[in-house]
Amino acid sequence: MKTDFLVIGSGIAGLTYALKVAQAKPNKKITIITKAVADETNTKYAQGGVAVVNDLAHDSFDQHIQDTLTAGDDLCNKEIVHLVIKEGPERIQEIINWGTQFDKDVQGKYQLGKEGGHSTHRILHHKDVTGKEMERALLEAIKKQSNIQLIHYCFVLDLITQHHLGYLITKSTPNIECYGAYVLNLQTHQIEKIEAAITVLATGGNGQVYRTTTNPSIATGDGVAMAYRAKARIENMEFIQFHPTALYEQGISPCFLITEAVRGDGGILRNKQGDAFMENYDERKDLAPRDIVARAIDNEMKRAGIEHVWLDCKHMDLQKFKQHFPNIYAKCVSIGIDVQKDMIPVAPAAHYSCGGIKTDEWGRTSIQNLYACGECASTGLHGANRLASNSLLEAMVFAHRAYIDSINKFDEANCSSPIGGGQVGAWNAAGTSKPREMILITQSLKELQLLMTDYVGIVRTNERLRRAMRRLDILFEETEELYQKTQVSPQLCELRNLITVGYLIVKSAQFRKESRGLHYNTDYPDKSALVQSIVL
Ligand code: FAD
Ligand code: SIN
């Protein structure tokens, strides 16, 4: 298959990019590939909303910029922070024009929520199902574009580069080029080659590398792993954000999220004794940035030997609660929690990857013709800790920037047929056979998730990281052996990708000889004077 623009991923980043290119280039073909149903994405589960400067009487760009920089613990790229926050309102207006409904008050003004690390109310939301509403509007707009083909149940295996033309490619090879991707069509079980002039990675996060996560099962870091295999630069992988308040249900993952907006509306965290403990950790109490709240909860749980703390909403106005958080209310009712009488058991869970494929201000990766946007990218916005509700915003801003740059590039190069594409061979499956025991893959995945949770969680030490790396080495060897011998399946490829992601997280964590933002190592409890990103 040949296409002009290949977009991998159907979350907010991929859909926004595809829609913009399709509208600007009605004669060009845009292909969106997604490994599950179109809306099974991290985007669909976003609750709190989108942080954006909306109410200039009570907010300002400078305030949002400062909140983002403070949360990011000095590691954000200031230029990127400025441009994302300043371009935010325009991007929001676009998604509203495409049909997204954000909640308004009786006067018709947008209702603005508040979350940790924000100095004021600035979060646009659609009740507590904002992502679902945005995804719906985008998919409906996509359906109207006849030059977009959305192929679901199609798993992208690897990016095609000069490596597939027979050249030896290393990290220091100049001008590595991307010509598209190999995909496993899950309906036909065939491996196909898609040649593209421009390829965009919008593959989302990697929460599945941990035992408990808020991310759905698609979040297996495929984009980061395939970019790393293609020798792209990967950055800041040690900064894994644990959401402080995932609903605690023993043994259940993905976990249901209790949005931070509940604390924004007055919810209070309490420990085993019933004390509101956040005041002992930070003057911003329950609305301190996420790294601080998650570490405080972790500490309270470890001290008391318990598996969760409690979120107290009993004092909150029930009607308002039901109106703003109908999804959470329904979930609580379904498991026998009456929010007016009972406290909600909550614990931190892996939630967001602040690092990823390194891009510049136009979403360009270190590989030619390859862009990245959304959660799989590391743009410089989040630094060492993402400010709540900044990721949907970042995805929209960088989908737009990647669209601008890539259509210019497309026009300049007049590259309607992919460079080098014709000579790229079919996928080589020689020497592989059907897997004899799928259970080996499941077992390895469990081992991986357990080791990452036990040794590379909220609090790290040198010894824990060393242990993690030794165990990852074994898993890597076993999985590579299986991969060489076995016909590819999504399960095997996801395991392989997650092991790569685990390796990148641990390696970056080992390189960072300090504690900053989401990376806390008790062997280096302080910040170092040298502020730098770790690039692998
Ligand atoms: P996603 O929406 O995750 O989409 C990834 C796409 O890539 C999917 O279509 C997937 O199938 C596809 N894909 C992946 N690998 C492959 C492959 N190998 N082959 C083919 N397709 C592939 N952020 C906020 O700003 N505000 C919030 O309120 C908020 N709440 C959140 C609540 C939850 C429970 C979660 C999990 C996240 C939340 N976030 C929030 C974070 C935010 O939702 C995500 O960062 C964002 O939606 C990511 O969008 P994306 O387009 O990059 O990726
Ligand atoms: C939440 O609603 O608490 C999640 C917001 C986010 O991850 O940005």
Q: What are phi and psi of 26, to 5 degrees?
A: -60, -20
Say what the pLDDT of residue 416 is: 47
Residue 154 has pLDDT above 90, yes or no: yes
290 catalytic per annotation: yes
Residue 302 has pLDDT above 50, yes or no: yes
Q: Can you give the pTM of this predicted structure?
A: 0.96
Instruction: Work out the average pLDDT over 243-249.
Output: 97
Rounded to the nearest integer, the mean pLDDT of the chain is: 95
SS3 for 7? strand
Share of the chain above pLDDT 90, in %: 90
Token pair recorded at residue 472: 């990852």
Q: What is the C-alpha separation between 2 and 20, in angstroms, rounded?
A: 20
Determine the Cα angle at 426 with ends 422 and 431, to 5°: 155
Token pair recorded at residue 186: 């899950």
Q: What is the DSSP string of 460-494?
A: B-HHHHHHHHHHHHHHHHHHHHHHHHB---HHHHH
Q: 396 alpha carbon to ligand 1 midpoint, in Å?
A: 12
pLDDT band at 417 (very low <50, low <70, confident <90, very high): very low
Bridging pattern class, strands 50-51 and 123-124: antiparallel
Residue 418 has pLDDT above 60, yes or no: no
Residue with CA nearest ligand 1 atom 4: 11
Say what the pLDDT of residue 422 is: 58
Helix (H) or strand (E) holding 38: none
Q: 281 alpha carbon to ligand 2 midpoint, in Å?
A: 21
**Which residues surround ligand 2 with Cβ inside 6 Å?**
47-48, 115, 259-261, 352, 388-389, 391
- Higher pLDDT among residues 478 and 425, named by residue: 478
Q: 45 alpha carbon to ligand 1 midpoint, in Å?
A: 8
Instruction: Work out the average pLDDT over 374-379.
Output: 98
Q: Give the position, in ligand 2's atom list, of the atom nearest the Cα of 390.
A: 8
Q: What is the C-alpha separation between 109 and 99, in angstroms, rounded?
A: 17
- Check if the beta carbon of residue 200 is closer than 8 Å to that of residue 4: no
Cβ-Cβ contacts under 8 Å for 319 (sequence gap 6 or more) = none
Say what the pLDDT of residue 425 is: 82
Say what the pLDDT of residue 356 is: 98
Q: Give the position, in ligand 1's atom list, of the atom nearest the Cα of 51.
A: 25
Q: Which of 290, 295, 401, 460 is catalytic?
A: 290
